[in-house]
Structure 1
Amino acid sequence: MKSIPRHEAVERHLRSRIASSKPGDALESDAELTALFNVSRMTVRQAAQRLADQGLIYRVPGVGTFVAEPRVHRDLGRLRSFTEEMARRGASASSKVLVAELRSGTANEVAALHLAPGSTVAHVRRLRLADGRPVAIENVVLPMSCSSVLDKDLEHGSLHDALRELGEVPTSASGTLVAVNAAAEDEELLAVEPRAALLVEERLILNQSGRPLERTQTRYAGDEFVFNVSLAR
């Protein structure tokens, strides 16, 4: 049987320990892992650094290595709802509904959705939770034709599932991602430090006919999310 590289053996061991531990639990020290696997400290550090880069552990110099609070990954190359992304990552998605209303659309909103000036839109604002942890603030604006989604269970259900029930299938999207500092309301809702780094994603989602369906702004806690990007020449 072919043996695996030593740093990979250390990494597999640490992953197993992480899976059975809670955030903040201490892991073996570099010295203990060196003795356990009969490898150099450099090999141990190589394995640990890979896990640290993935946000699975954090290291405090002179103190030890600890299990990190898991960060949520979003794949920028795929159009998925928050609920779908959480399910793929083994997390339970839920929401706290902050706003669910009909109102007059702003000039930018009606232009993005290809509506007449002054049109009424459906507005949903939610605090998105992963395993009960606040991780994002989501603002969604939809055409009036989709207003029946306001009657759905938007705390535990998927907005995109509700849209599909109406025959409106979120099919493609374009958008932007920028970094900003948290405002006072962000700090309160996301329980982040003053002026903490946030990632703000704006998306325009089209339906199966290529018509604008949803304009969304989502403000993500910067230390909770990793955005995965795949590029090809």
Structure 2
Amino acid sequence: MENSGGAGSPPRPKYRILQDELSDRIRRGVYRPGQALPAQRKLAASLGVTLMTLRQALRALSDQGLVVQEPGRGTFVTSPVAAYRLETLRSLADDLRAQGRDVATKVLSVEVRRLPSAVAASLGASDDAWGLRLERMRLVDGDPAIHQDSWVPEPYASMIRGEDFEVMPLYHALATLCGAAIASATEAIRPVALPARLAEILRLPAGSPVFSSERVTRSLDGAALVHDQAHIDGSRMLIRADRLARSMSLHWSLHQ
């Protein structure tokens, strides 16, 4: 097990090196989902590290969502985790695919209609403005996970309305067909009870805990391009924050 950093950099802590090695074994399937890791003393001896170093590495792996430690039973590999990185401007589906997840999109409806007043306000449009409503369901690894309503105002609505959004990502359509470069987004997330009208779509009981995500995406000139409202299965989700000295990033974690 290597125990040094790169040239000119300080040595990495031993537990971090061990964390990376165990993480790699999990991702390669040496330790499979649901499998118990060897007993801590045996595992530490086989790896040539102290018990304290091993326990530090296991705590870090637990924070990553790769293992779960059960008192009196041992340490178990969790199911694979899919994370939606909120600090990026890629779409949720693109983020999940980048992690190797199987994400399929089912379009439920596409229509041009008057914008609801709340949507018009968030997009900075007039009360009588029209736009494209795109309703989709996202399946992650074959299971319904997200219901998403996206609203796109004119003139972009008419330019993209004929696209097959089960194949063409919405942000890609805006960029290629409208020349609209995405520059920023604001997103608010809160826990809510699943509305009855969405329960059948997500195959969950009405009133189940879900996350409601409301996001407004803007172009380089500050124009609002998309208002998104997503309901995400809260029984399989957690939000993790990585805090650094000068920044913070947020991740969705989807437990299978």
TM-score scaled by length of structure 1? 0.81
Instruction: Out of 178-187 and 54-63, give the one that drifted further.
Output: 178-187
Note the C-alpha offset of 1:163: 1.1
Partner of 1:136: 146
TM-superposition CA deviations, 1:144-191 (whole Å, max 9, x none): 432443432222331100111222232222232223344455555445
Once the two structures are superposed, the pairs formed by residues 74-223 of structure 1 within 5 Å of their partners are: 74-145=84-155, 146-164=157-175, 165-184=177-196, 188-190=200-202, 197-222=209-234, 223=236
Supply the AA of the counterpart residue of 2:89. Answer: L
Supply the AA of the counterpart residue of 1:224. Answer: M
Supply the AA of the counterpart residue of 2:218. Answer: L
**Where do 5+ consecutive residues of structure 2 fail to align?**
5-12, 248-256
Contact 1:31 1:41 in 2 (8 A): yes
Between 1 and 2, higher relative CO (CA 8 Å, sep ≥ 6) is seen in 1
**Size of the alignment, in residue pairs?**
233
User: What SS class does the counterpart of residue 171 from structure 1 fall into?
Assistant: strand
- How far, CA to CA, are the matches of 1:112 and 1:176 in structure 2? 12
- How far, CA to CA, are the matches of 1:184 and 1:40 in structure 2? 53
Supply the AA of the counterpart residue of 1:46. Answer: Q
Supply the AA of the counterpart residue of 2:139. Answer: L
Q: Identity percentage over the alignment? A: 29
Relative distance call for 1:230 and 1:174 in structure 2 (3 A) is farther
Residue of 13, 18, 24 corresponding to 1:10: 18
Partner of 1:19: 27
Note the C-alpha offset of 1:228: 4.6
Residue of 81, 103, 106 corresponding to 1:71: 81
- How far, CA to CA, are the matches of 2:73 and 2:99 in structure 1? 30
Note the C-alpha offset of 1:19: 1.1
Relative distance call for 1:7 and 1:138 in structure 2 (3 A) is same
TM-superposition CA deviations, 1:16-55 (whole Å, max 9, x none): 2211224323333324313312444433222111111111
Q: Does 1:224 align with 2:234?
A: no
- How far, CA to CA, are the matches of 1:31 and 1:189 in structure 2? 48
Aligned-pair Cα RMSD in Å: 3.1
Residue of 16, 19, 38 corresponding to 1:28: 38
Contact 2:152 2:226 in 1 (8 A): yes
**Where do 5+ consecutive residues of structure 1 fail to align?**
none
Residue of 44, 58, 64 corresponding to 2:54: 44
Contact 2:152 2:225 in 1 (8 A): yes
